[in-house]
Structure formats: C-alpha cells, structure tokens
Structure 1
C-alpha cells in the first residue's frame, strides 16, 4: 500500500480599481473535484 500526495502553493490577489469603493468580508471557497465529478 502506498500513500501519495501532491502539494501546491497558491496565491490569489484581488486588485480593486476603484479608490472610493472598498472590498470587505471577501470569502473564497476552493473545491477539489476528481475527473468523474466526485468531490468526496
């Protein structure tokens, strides 16, 4: 039996082009799904 995993390092930047409008309480959900569509 073997256990394999791949890791990654991800960064997301959001640039707001409007100086008078502020972004607050921003949430991001990341979902991993296999080729068959199962996210289990």
Structure 2
C-alpha cells in the first residue's frame, strides 16, 4: 500500500508548515484518487 515513513514525513512536513489537508488530498499527493461511493 503506502510506505508509512513517507506518509509520516508528509504529515510532519504539513504540520511544520501549519497546513491542513484532507485524507483525499493526502491520497492525491501519494498518486491515488479518492472518490466517495454513490449513496442511494
């Protein structure tokens, strides 16, 4: 799946820059897309 060290590094870097991002944005940075399932 994802390298935990890479994810941790991204989160620490964002925290130092005082940036907030969503789970979907994190997946985008890692090269994946996040879509919500269609709710019926």
Which category of TM-score, normalised to the shorter sequence, fits these structures? under 0.3
Q: Larger % of helix: which?
A: 2
What is the TM-score normalised by the length of structure 1? Answer: 0.26
Rg (Cα) greater in structure: 1
Q: Compare relative contact order (CA 8 Å, sep 6+) and give the higher one, 1 or 2.
A: 2
What is the TM-score normalised by the length of structure 2? Answer: 0.26
